[in-house]
Amino acid sequence: MNIREVARLAKVSTATVSRTINGSDKVTPETKERVQRAIEELKFYPNTWARALGSGRSRLYGLIISDITNPFFPELVKSFEDIAVQNGQEVLVANTNYDPARMEQCVSRMLQRKVDGVAIMTSEMDPRLITEFQDRDIPLVFLDTGTAQKLTSNIVVDYASGVDAAVEHIVGLGHTEIAFISGPMMLRSARVRREAFVACLERRGIGAGLMEEGNHQVDGGHGAMERLLSRKTRPTAVLASNDMTAIGALGAIHESGLRVPEDISIVGFDDIQISAFTQPALTTVRLSRDEIARVAFRALYGIRQEGSKGAEYGVPTSLVLRSSTGRVPRDTTGKMREDAGLVRA
């Protein structure tokens, strides 16, 4: 079953069938009508691969992420896919699993599938691999890394404003011992977030905060928080590099018998869906996946479609106030207190 059969049934040439499939305006309505009927009757679905071969365009966009298991990404994938499908394009999602070897494999898959563009939402990327794409004139868009060039764009998240709002909020509540649980420092994106925090404290003349390293996952946040709690000077407020980390920290705090926010305030980052439903609901810095996805797709699609150039796009962040932050407790000696709840009053 192929375009020829449709042509035969509709009594036209394959070219005409092709034209009506592609919505060409140079086809008489009646002819178009006849072809449509033939297509319906035969339940014909044009072979995308053959179309791509013939036209040189795959209508396929690659989306490389590091861990689909981190809720931040599925939301991004969903948005990206929605926009792509709306524009008649498809998405090939690939997971690197934070593994450089798999990253190489992902790149190879993208290249073999002849994608029309790739959104690289993962932090580390061998420059050599990037060249593979650029040499083939494949549009690229990065998140927080890379620099705009001919065909490659970069999405720059304004971490500073969100972090600043968070710190201002925390400081306004009287906190002075502020800690930060970072992501894995081997990841560029994790370092960028950490730096935003450090720079913010500096700007405000607050002493360097306590630092612990997590892994952007729940268990890492849990472990980091435990280490933080065992320090001689316990922080009264903790910012986490992402919400998963914050959720892990929340758990560790509860297990230690302390309370949030009475004893310790927690601020997350990302605002993933579940953060509104943790106990207590997480105050967090929102980073819109929808916005990132939209910008990323447009950056890619725009180049192919409107011949735009690679550019730099900004994406804002903003503070979402919920219940995991509160006034600094009066007693900050670091000992567990039975009356912790009263401090709130």
Q: Which amino acid is at 195?
A: E
Kindly indicate which of the ranges 1-9, 196-204, 211-219, 224-232 contains the residues binding DNA, using the contact rule CB under 7 A: 1-9
Distance CA 117, CA 292 (A): 16
The residue written with tokens 């997590």 in the block is: 214
Stretch of residues binding a copy of itself (CB under 8 A), selected from 69-77, 228-236, 290-298, 326-334: 69-77
Q: Does 208 bind DNA (CB under 7 A)?
A: no
Q: How far apart are CA 37 and CA 289, in angstroms?
A: 41
Q: Which of 34, 48, 37 is nearest to 2 (CA)?
A: 48
Binds a copy of itself by CB under 8 A, chosen from 69, 147, 233, 333: 69
Contacts of 198 (CB under 8 A, 6+ apart): 180, 208, 209
- What tokens appear for 120 in the block? 């690289």
7 or 143: CB nearest DNA: 7
> In whole angstroms, what is the distance from residue 278 CA to residue 17 CA?
55
Site for a copy of itself (CB under 8 A): which residue of 62, 71, 184, 214?
Answer: 71
Residues within window 196-255 making contact with a copy of itself, judged by CB under 8 A:
218, 222, 247-248, 250-251, 254
Using CB under 8 A as the binding criterion, the count of chain residues that bind a copy of itself stands at: 47
Restricting to residues 8-27, name those near DNA by CB under 7 A.
Answer: 11-19, 21-22, 25-27
Q: Are 228 and 210 spatial neighbours (Cβ–Cβ below 8 Å)?
A: yes
- Asked whether position 290 contacts a copy of itself by CB under 8 A, the answer is no
182 strand-pairing partners? 213
Of 57 and 203, the one with the shorter C-beta distance to DNA is 57
Provide the 10 A C-beta neighbour count for residue 68.
Answer: 15
φ/ψ region of 2 (left if φ > 0, alpha if ψ in -120 to 50, else beta) reads beta
How far are the Cα atoms of 3, 137, 315 from residue 282, in angstroms, in the given order? Answer: 55, 43, 22
- Using rule CB under 7 A, residue 108 touches DNA: no
* Shortest Cβ 214–a copy of itself spacing (Å): 13
From a copy of itself, DNA, none, interface partner of 111 (C-beta below 5 to 8 A by class): a copy of itself
Distance of CA 8 to the CA centre of its chain: 48
Contact mark string toward DNA, 30..69, x via CB under 7 A: xxx-----------x-xx--xx-xxxxx------------
Residue type at position 324: S
Given a contact cutoff of 8 angstroms between Cβ atoms, the answer to whether 342 and 184 are in contact is no
By CB under 8 A, tell whether 166 contacts a copy of itself: no
User: Which residues make up the interface to DNA (CB under 7 A)?
Assistant: 2-4, 11-19, 21-22, 25-28, 30-32, 44, 46-47, 50-51, 53-57
User: Which residues make up the interface to a copy of itself (CB under 8 A)?
Assistant: 43, 45-50, 52-53, 58, 68-69, 71, 73-75, 77-78, 81, 85, 90, 92-93, 95, 105, 108-109, 111-114, 132, 135, 218, 222, 247-248, 250-251, 254, 273-274, 276-279, 281
